[in-house]
Amino acid sequence: EAGVAQSPRYKIIEKRQSVAFWCNPISGHATLYWYQQILGQGPKLLIQFQNNGVVDDSQLPKDRFSAERLKGVDSTLKIQPAKLEDSAVYLCASSNIGTGLMNTEAFFGQGTRLTVV
């Protein structure tokens, strides 16, 4: 079974520039997550999709971050404009969770390491 695919693996941009990350979840997984992981910290949920609907984006800085999930499959996360404090690893994960069912494990991609200079 193919895992969660993310690209790019690394990205270096200057502050105030924009950047986009792409994620392709495991086939058939209805739930997709974007996490931000700052060095030395645990992953922090930015946004969670159930199919192509948003179920939690309470920690997404909506003035600069946006995300969409096209047709309930692939997803993109965008930052515009980037700040120095956005330097982190951006992890995409998916799980086979259905509405009303107990959550199951999340499968993570390798992440995109973003450096804002």
Partner 1 sequence: SQKIEQNSEALNIQEGKTATLTCNYTNYSPAYLQWYRQDPGRGPVFLLLIRENEKEKRKERLKVTFDTTLKQSLFHITASQPADSATYLCALHLGGFKTIFGAGTRLFVKA
Contact positions vs partner 1 (CB under 8 A):
4, 31, 35, 40-45, 48, 50, 55-56, 91, 93, 97, 102-111
Quote the tokens at residue 106: 């999340």
What are the start-end ranges of the E strands in the chain?
Answer: 5-7, 10-13, 19-24, 31-37, 44-50, 53-56, 65-69, 75-79, 88-95, 107-108, 112-116
Return the number of the residue (111 or 114) whose C-beta is nearest partner 1: 111
Cβ atoms of residues 112 and 7 within 8 Å? yes
Which is closer to partner 1, CB of 70 or CB of 102? 102
Least Cβ distance, residue 108 to partner 1 (angstroms): 3
| Minimum separation from the CB atom of position 40 to partner 1 (A) | 7
Q: How far apart are CA 94 and CA 92, in angstroms?
A: 7
Nearest distance, CB of residue 111 and partner 1, angstroms:
5
Up-side HSE of residue 33: CA atoms within 13 Å toward CB? 20
- Min. distance of Cβ 81 from partner 1 in angstroms? 27
By beta-carbon proximity to partner 1, the closer residue of 63 and 105 is: 105
Instruction: Give whichever of 17 and 110 is closer to partner 1, judged by the CB atom.
Output: 110
